[in-house]
Structure 1
Amino acid sequence: MNQTYFKNYLEQQKAAYDAIPIDRVEHFINLIKKCWEDDRQLFAFGNGGSASNVSHFITDLGKSASDRMGKRFRCMSLNESISWITALGNDYAYEDVYMRQLENYARPGDLVLTLSVSGNSPNVVKAVEWANAHGLTTMALVGGKGGKLAELAHESITVQDRHYGRVEDAQMTICHMLCYGFIDS
C-alpha cells in the first residue's frame, strides 16, 4: 500500500460521512425518544461488524444516554447471547436467530433497529418482516446497495458507499449521533 491509497480511502470515507442525511438521523432520534417516552423496548441486531456496532450502540444508549436522561432506555441487542443464537440456529435455522428472539420479547409498539451493509442478510430480513407483521416500528441502517431492508423497514438510512469498512464506520457514526443526541442535549 502507498499513501495515495490511504488518502483516497479517507476521501471516500469523508464523502460517505458528508452524504449522511441529517434530517433522517434526527427522525430516528425522535422515534427513539418516543419509544423511551412511551416506555417501549428497543431491539437492535446485525451480523459481523454490524453486530459489533449494535453492541456498542446499545451500551451507549442503555448506559450513557440513560444516565443523562434520568429514565432508563429499555434497549437490547439480540446479537449478544451466543447460546441463544446457536440454539436457535441449530434447532430451527440461522435465518431465525433474531426473529425467534423477537417472538419471546417484542410487543406491538416496540422499536427495531437493524444494521446491515448489504441490506439482504436473511436473518435480519426475516426479523424485520416479522416485526412489521406484529406491530413494531422498524428502522434500518444499510449500505449503498440498500437491499431488501431499505424497502422493508418503515424507516431507513442508506450510507452512500458499498465498501463494508466505510459503511460500518459511517453506521457507527450515525449510532453515536443517535446516542449523543440524548447525552449532549
Structure 2
Amino acid sequence: MTSMTTQDKLPTAVFTAYASRLQEVLATSDWSGVAQLAQDMKDCWISGRQVFFCGNGGSAGNAIHLANDYLYGIAKRTGGGMRVSSLSANAAVITCLANDIGYDYIYSEQLAVQAQAGDLLIVLSGSGNSPNILRALEQAKTMGVKTCAILGYSGGKAKAMCDVPIHFAIDDMQIAEDMQLVVGHMIMQWLYENKPVAE
C-alpha cells in the first residue's frame, strides 16, 4: 500500500475539474452550426444521399459509433435509417491504402470511389490539422460533397476548409472527443423526433 503524497490529486478533484470544463463548453457553445448540420443530415435522409464519417484514434471510434446510430437508431425499423458509413471502419481497406499510397490518403481514396455530388462528409478531429482529414475535405470539395468538421482546440486548417464548421475551443482532447458524440447524439434525437419517413 502506497501513501498519497502532497503532489497527488484525489480522483474526485480531477473528476470535478473535468466536469467543470465540460459544463463550461456546453453552457457557452454556439449551436447554430449543429442546427445546420442537423438539417443537412435530414436532407440526405429524405433524398437517400450518403453521409460519411471519419476521424483518427478516439475520433475514429466516434465515427464508427455515430454511423451505427444513424443507420439504425434514428428509425428503429428495417430500411428506415440513413445511408451512412464510417470511413474509419474497414481495417483491410485502411491498412491497404496506408501501405500502398500512404496514411494521408486513407479517407480521400475511399471518398473518391464511394461518394457522389450532394453527399455529406463529417470529419471528427481534435486539432483540425490531421493530413488525412484535410485531404478528405479537399477530395470532397472536388466532387461536390458538402463537408462538416467537428473540431476542438483552435479548429486548425479544417475549420476554414469545411462548409459547416462546428468548433469547440477547448484545449482538451478528451472533451473535444466528448463533444463529437454530444453533437452526434443531439442530432440523432432531433432526427428521431422529426422523421421524414413513415413509420
**Fold-level match, TM-score > 0.5?**
yes
| Structure 1 residues 72 and 5: CA distance shift in structure 2, 3 A | closer
Alignment of 1:1-185 (within 5 A): 1-2=9-10, 3-67=12-76, 71-185=80-194
Q: Distance in 2 between matches of 1:150 and 1:69?
A: 36
Q: How many residues align?
A: 185
Shift in Å, 1:24: 1.8
| Structure 1 residues 14 and 69: CA distance shift in structure 2, 3 A | farther
Q: Distance in 2 between matches of 1:10 and 1:64?
A: 27
Structure 1, gaps ≥5 residues long: none
TM-score w.r.t. the length of structure 1 is 0.95
**SS class of match (2:75):** helix
Contact 1:144/1:162 (8 A) holds in 2: yes
User: Identity rate of aligned residues, in percent?
Assistant: 32
Bigger relative contact order, structure 1 or 2, given CA contacts below 8 A and separation 6+?
Answer: 1
TM-score w.r.t. the length of structure 2 is 0.88
Q: Distance in 1 between matches of 2:86 and 2:70?
A: 11
Runs of 4+ in 1 over 6 A off after TM superposition: none
Shift in Å, 1:18: 1.6
Shift in Å, 1:150: 0.4
Which is richer in helix?
A: 1
Larger Rg: 2
> Amino acid of the residue matched to residue 155 of structure 1?
V
Contact 1:69/1:182 (8 A) holds in 2: no
